[in-house]
């Protein structure tokens, strides 16, 4: 994707040149620069690596499970409200995998 140096709009390719969709500014295409661009197709084809074992990659802490009275849980933070609100901490029991939020108690 290329943006116009004159007005900042997105440009399209046509006959070996970039053409601005708004002001008509033209710029020669650079094959080396375009080869370095990441396309959406390349993003879709990228390999996704998953850790083996569900929540085992999460950090653990001391927390009393309300379901089985285990005293250790995995935890993670997630933004579930507006961006100007604080994140919510979630816990997952290391024994029974019961999931709860920090403010559930």
Q: Domains along the chain?
A: 11-42 (no CATH), 57-104 (2.20.25.10)
- What is the predicted pLDDT for the residue at 100? 92
- What is the predicted pLDDT for the residue at 5? 81
Q: Does pLDDT of 42 surpass 80?
A: no
**What pairing do the DSSP bridges indicate for beta strands 26-28 and 60-62?**
unpaired
Known active-site residue 15? no
Supply the pTM of this predicted model: 0.45
Residues in the chain: 105
- Higher per-residue pLDDT: 80 or 63: 63
Paired strand residues for 92: 74, 99
Whether 22 has a binding-site annotation, put simply, is no
Known active-site residue 2? no
Q: Does pLDDT of 8 surpass 50?
A: yes
Residue carrying the six token digits 């816990």: 91
């Amino acid at each position: 994707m290329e943006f116009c140096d004159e007005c900042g709009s997105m440009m399209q390719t046509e006959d070996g040149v970039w053409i601005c969709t708004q002001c008509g500014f033209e710029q020669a295409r650079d094959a080396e620069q375009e080869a370095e661009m990441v396309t959406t197709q390349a993003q879709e084809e990228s390999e996704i690596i998953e850790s083996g074992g569900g929540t085992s990659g999460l950090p653990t802490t001391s927390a009393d499970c309300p379901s089985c009275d285990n005293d250790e849980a995995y935890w993670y933070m997630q933004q579930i409200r507006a961006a100007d609100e604080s994140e919510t901490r979630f816990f997952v029991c290391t024994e029974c995998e019961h999931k709860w939020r920090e403010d559930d108690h």
